[in-house]
Amino acid sequence: MRPPILRRLFRRVASVTVCSLLAVLAAQPVATAAPTAAAAGLQQVTGFGSNPGNLQMFAYTPDGLPAGAPLVVALHGCTQTAGAYYANSGWPAYADLWGFDVVFPQTTSANNPLSCFGWFDPAEDTRGRGEAASVVQMVEYAKRTYGTDGRRVYVTGLSAGGGMTADLLAAYPDVFAGGSVASGLPAQCATSQAGASGCQTGPQKLSPSQWGDKVRGSYPGWTGPWPRVAIWQGTSDYTVHPANATALRDQWTDVWGIGQTPSSTSGLPGNTTRSVYEDASGRPAVETFTVSGMGHGLPVDPGSGAGQCGSTAAYFLDTICSTYHTGVFWGLDGDTPGGGDALPAPSGLKVSGVTASTASLTWDAVGNAVSYAVHRDGTKVGSPTSASFTDTGLSAGTAYRYTVAAVDSSGATGTLSPAVTATTAGGTAPAACFSATNYAHVAAGRAHTAGGYVYANGSGQTMGLYNVFVTHTLRESPAGYFVVADSNCQAGSS
């Protein structure tokens, strides 16, 4: 669903101020090489959801990747495209090497004149709204279509994409296990176009607890677990100033409750200093990577050596392969932060029986396992100690995807099994659909207003201005939960 025309016009005016600093950098000399052409492996995906933020979805899925693989969401910077991020960031090469899928969301000049994600706009970067909701719909699509492991979904971004990354981590800690912010902004640093430029040149001087409150306020009631966050920053970045990296560190260490003194500091290639902030169990929760002398951009290190990646281009700067170190921090290389060998994936997973409301599973026992983690559609639903499990409370006539992992005596979870699908018996009545103006939807209790705009009850999807001129179809399922379904639902009432 495209944003209303008045809102688009407002954002076009506002964003010129927000992104003007980024345009200046384009005139500066950047070490370049011929960019790698985007291979046929990058594919556009349509129909991934109602798309309230008017984004485009592109995906790279390595051949032969089994279900249960991790997912990385990579957000480009201003003036960039999904194709440029695919070609130069190095993420596809590590997707092939380590085995994970990558989704590249793309915004356009229809949303913003310089194709910046709306990290400063509450209608775009908060839970259930706009571009943030569109990105999460892409994640849900990946879970349904690729069998993505919902416990291992990560998001990374550069500049405006980095700002949106921080906002996504704050608004959806239940979706993202980790994030990486490159030359970006702390979560909810700005909530209007007037405050956006001030954040870029130097964020507010807030205490760590005040920065942490911005995260905690983005999803009230959530108490953890929190995403593990990597922060990349050049010391000579005059577009998004290094003070933002300090604010990001303060924000996420406060959320984790671990203080702002690093557990360790070490030197890396490319004049990079890594500082590690460990959680109570001794595992890295936050890491900062400070690249001395680097300007505004994503650190890459072209070459064929171990730990090298990417291509140099505008905003892709030849220093260090941030993609490699970010992937290792998240454990995409097969390890987990803090080390430890994982138990193998259980074999022989099968559906042993179904009813209208249950699905029973069995699998082969794994040596040294003290329990198992059973996941339904990427969410953990059981911890049996034997090699069988019955899931209850399911909907009739519905397909569910299951994976299982072994858990050792230290509590470490091993590799996920290949997925199986269980379809419960019976069926359900079709969802009710309602077509009406935004005004009528609000009057009927199917939607609500905030700041002159209308949002669907339950899903929180934006529907445009509160008036009698904008019409939408809403689908209700379950009762009281409405989603925008303008093109795939027959209205049952008006």
- Residue numbers annotated as active site: 159
**Nearest-angstrom CA–CA distance, 437 and 490:** 16
- The DSSP code for 413 is B
* Tokens 């507010």 sit on residue: 204
The strand pair at 178-182 and 284-291 is best described as unpaired
Token duo for residue 38: 């985007």
At 125 the three-state DSSP class reads helix
Produce one character per residue of 446-455: b if its CB has 16 or more CB atoms within 10 Å, e if not: bbeeeeebbb
Nearest to 189 by CA among 221, 215, 226, 227: 215
Cα 28 to Cα 25, 52, 77, 313, distances in angstroms: 5, 36, 17, 12
Q: Which residues contact 364 (CB under 8 A, 6 or more apart)?
A: 346, 347, 348, 387
Q: H-type helices in 257-376, by residue range? A: 322-330
Q: Which helix (H) or strand (E) holds 88?
A: helix 82-88
* Tokens 């356009």 sit on residue: 108
Backbone angles phi, psi at 58, to 5 degrees: -120, 145
The strand pair at 153-158 and 71-75 is best described as parallel
CB 139 within 8 A of CB 175: yes
CB 150 within 8 A of CB 375: yes
Percent of residues in the chain assigned helix, strand, coil, to nearest 5: 25, 25, 50
Q: Which helix (H) or strand (E) holds 374?
A: strand 371-376
**Nearest-angstrom CA–CA distance, 56 and 430:** 29
Q: Name residue 437's beta-bridge partners.
A: 471
**Nearest-angstrom CA–CA distance, 173 and 43:** 27
Q: State the CB neighbour count (10 A cutoff) for residue 42.
A: 18
C-alpha of 459 from chain center: 18
Nearest to 403 by CA among 68, 66, 148: 68
Q: Say how many CA atoms lie within 13 Å of 33 toward its Cβ.
A: 14
**Nearest-angstrom CA–CA distance, 329 and 461:** 33
